[in-house]
Amino acid sequence: MNTTPTTIRLNKAHVKRASRICASAFYNYPQSITMIPDGKKRRRIMSHVFECCLNYGVLYGEVHAISENMEGIAVWLPANDSTLSFSKMVKAGFLNMARKVGPTVLYRLISGLLHSSSILDKHARNTDWTLFQLAVNPFYQGKGHAGALLKSMLKRLDEKRQSCCLDTHDKKNVDIYKRYGFEVVYSGLVPQTGTNLWTMVRKLPA
């Protein structure tokens, strides 16, 4: 009996709503707090950041959700797009996002992305896919939606014998991802912040 959870693939029409859900899910995420320390400002502008990220995923990768209710959302990028090409970011709405978030937030965002990309390139260069983002609507957290999103994609990757990687700034996520076969290949502080970064790789099954 096949018990692998099913998901749907999101498109451009879903992005606005999905960006608000992701912003809410990541409101207390360490990187979000570092990027936008002011809570009121963070609540107001985080959706603009995620709108750009989700557009990128729709255009150049895959964006999955549990259902049309978007209880959980995952953005997957193939290896050749995990470094976030600037020209592709522009097509995904980067310039519009930049105007809305302001120079300070933009600088912190770009610095964080560049650092993450450099670590992934060094420690996870030969992987096939990157889990760029995994968010669960706060109203549905603790109900297994993150696991369902992971299981659905990981089953497919196993069948194709493809590896994947991710990074996280939240220590509690590390043990969760280990349950799904990911191993830590790097851990360290993000420069000029007090935020930690863990990079993890899920290799091909033996």
Q: Tokens representing 106?
A: 């933009």
Share of the chain above pLDDT 90, in %: 83
Q: Rounded CA gap, 85 and 186, in Å?
A: 23
CA-closest candidate to residue 64, choices 168, 167, 149: 149
- Neighbouring residues of 27: CB distance < 8 A, sequence distance ≥ 6: 42, 43, 46
Domain made up of 8-161: CATH architecture: 3-Layer(aba) Sandwich (3.40)
pLDDT for position 19: 97
Instruction: Summarize pLDDT for 162-203 with one digit per residue, the tens.
Output: 999 999 999 999 999 999 999 999 999 998 888 999 999 998
Q: What is the pLDDT of residue 177?
A: 96
Distance between CA atoms of 45 and 167, rounded to whole angstroms? 23
% of residues, the chain, pLDDT over 70? 95
Helix, strand or coil, per DSSP, at residue 135? strand
- Tell me what the pLDDT averaged over the chain comes to: 92
Q: What pTM, to 2 d.p., does this model score? A: 0.93
pLDDT of residue 180: 95
The domain segmentation of the chain, as residue ranges, is 8-161
Q: How far is CA 153 from CA 5, 74, 76, 140, in A?
A: 9, 10, 9, 20
The answer to whether residue 1 scores a pLDDT higher than 60 is no
